[in-house]
Amino acid sequence: MLYSFAQKQQMQTLKQELSHALYQYDASCRVITRLTKEVTAAREALSTLKPQAGISHISSHAQISQVDTEMEVDLQLNHNLQEPIGINSDIELQLQERSQMLTAERKKRGKQMPEELAKPSSMENFVVKSSQVGIHSASSPGIVALDVSKKDSDKIITGGNDKNAVVFNAATNQVIIAIVLLWNYFINQ
């Protein structure tokens, strides 16, 4: 029985190997046939592409080599006519000048406060109109972003240190929507 079992296993393995070899042979025959057809079609296309009256009796191999030679000559001529690839010294100089100008503007921008910001003297006159407790988590208090709706000035959206966004209605003193941002979840995924 053991001998019979071993023979069956060996026969099964040989069948699988033979099946795989036949599949590879069939696939390679199909590839060779397709490539042969493509080469024949390419040769025919080349022979009809540049018909030359005086050399029609020359074999297709000679025609292909002549077409290849003509293509190489054309490529060399085109290469000689093309401008060199890359940045020339004039463009490089313009880029450096522009870079220096933009850097100087950025440095100026950081030293001066924008005109539209509130001045410290006017901020002393600000008055607290309302104070809302419990909009954001008490474990990490603080609002880092705030925006007021242009259509309805009673709707205020805030972003807090607790990674949540809250839409608040100032007229009714109620939270309309509280959006829990899953920032840490998306970062860790």
Query: Which pLDDT value is given to residue 11?
Result: 92
pLDDT at 129 (0 to 100): 77
Q: What angle do CA 34, 42, 44 make, to 5 degrees?
A: 115
pLDDT tens, N- to C-terminus, the chain (189 residues): 888 888 999 999 999 999 888 888 888 888 898 888 888 888 887 777 655 544 444 455 555 566 566 666 565 655 555 555 667 888 888 888 998 888 888 877 767 777 777 888 888 888 887 777 777 777 777 788 888 888 888 888 888 888 888 888 888 888 887 777 654 444 444
Distance CA 98, CA 89 (A): 14
Residue-level pLDDT at 46 = 78
Measuring CA to CA, which residue among 44, 45, 66 is closest to residue 55? Answer: 66
> How far apart are alpha carbons 161 and 12 in whole angstroms?
67
pLDDT of residue 153: 86
Question: Cβ(132)–Cβ(143) under 8 Å?
Answer: no
The neighbouring-strand residues paired with 145 are 159
